Amino acid sequence: MARYLDLHPVDPQPRLVAQVVEALRDDALIAYPTDSGYALGCQLGNRDGKDRILRIRDLDEKHHFTLMCSDFSQLGHFVQVSNHAFRSVKAALPGPYTFILPATREVPRQLMHPKKKTVGVRIPEHPVVAALLAGLGEPMLTSSLILPGETEPRTIGWEVKEDLDHAVDIVIEAGETPAVPTTVVDWSEDTPEVLRHGAGDASRFED
């Protein structure tokens, strides 16, 4: 059964944050709230956690995973941001955007898109996620908690606990979250391509 932890949405309790960080380092898979619905997350090197995310979401190996980063400096260690894209990407973050960009050597090969060698990155605007990432000291491998047959991410912690009680290790509750997923922008080439319209304003990346 998954542990159910109730964290304050604005000022998360350091003791509980530390428990989640310790669990992540011990290869736990967590369900946690973000600024665009719930997500599944684990440590970067957690291959079992990655496979569990794929099973829960019924996805194949071609799925574009996302690295949840604490700030733009950390993001820059894991992806290459061209001079052309830099200003626009930085202006959009933190916020409900996922950018697909060329991965650096810091990204484990199994997390990259098998052909394009890209990876998704985002910087959320959510105090609980910020606290977790600060404690972890590295990005978290993540994917929106959109279950098979559904089109929107989950938003309520106790419902996630009910449905995924034996599939994840920890469910974090921090109040209801928005039900709209991130806007996904592929900027792996010279011009941005909006792959999914979501919570972020996509018009800034469209002609």
- The per-residue pLDDT for 156 is 93
Under DSSP, the state recorded for 9 is S
Tell me if the pTM is above 0.85.
Answer: yes
58: left (phi over 0), alpha (psi -120 to 50) or beta: left
Residue 177 reports pLDDT greater than 90:
no
What are the phi and psi torsion angles at 130 (to 5°)? -60, -40
| Beta carbons of 176 and 159 less than 8 angstroms apart | no
**pLDDT above 90: percentage of residues in the chain:** 82
- The per-residue pLDDT for 111 is 84
Is 153 exposed, middle or buried (CB count within 10 Å of its CB: 0-12, 13-18, 19+)?
Answer: buried
Mean pLDDT of 124-139: 96
Which tokens go with 87? Answer: 């200003």
- The per-residue pLDDT for 6 is 97
Place of tokens 């626009």: 88
Mean pLDDT of 171-182: 89
Which residues span the domain enclosing 146? 3-205
- The per-residue pLDDT for 113 is 78
Count how many domains the chain has. Answer: 1
| Residue with the larger pLDDT of the pair 94 and 207 | 94
Domain containing residue 124: CATH number: 3.90.870.10
pLDDT digits (tens, 9 = 90+) for 11-56: 999 999 999 999 999 999 999 999 989 999 999 989 999 999 999 9
- The per-residue pLDDT for 55 is 96
User: What's the CA gap between 104 and 134, in Å, rounded?
Assistant: 22
Our CA angle for 69, 64, 152, nearest 5°, is 85
pLDDT band, very low/low/confident/very high, at 135 (cuts 50, 70, 90): very high
Residue 114 reports pLDDT greater than 80:
no
- The per-residue pLDDT for 152 is 86
What are the phi and psi torsion angles at 30 (to 5°)? -120, 155
User: What's the CA gap between 205 and 105, in Å, rounded?
Assistant: 27
pLDDT digits (tens, 9 = 90+) for 85-102: 999 999 999 999 999 999
Residue 64 reports pLDDT greater than 90:
no
- The per-residue pLDDT for 168 is 98
Cα 37–chain centre separation: 10
Under DSSP, the state recorded for 160 is H
| Beta carbons of 10 and 127 less than 8 angstroms apart | yes
Q: What are the residues facing 41 on neighbouring strands?
A: 30, 142
Residue 4 reports pLDDT greater than 90:
yes
Q: What are the residues facing 102 on neighbouring strands?
A: 118
- The per-residue pLDDT for 120 is 94
Under DSSP, the state recorded for 2 is -
Angle between helices 14-25 and 127-136 in degrees, nearest 10 = 50
The amino acid that residue 56 corresponds to is: I
Is 116 exposed, middle or buried (CB count within 10 Å of its CB: 0-12, 13-18, 19+)?
Answer: middle
Residue 109 reports pLDDT greater than 90:
no
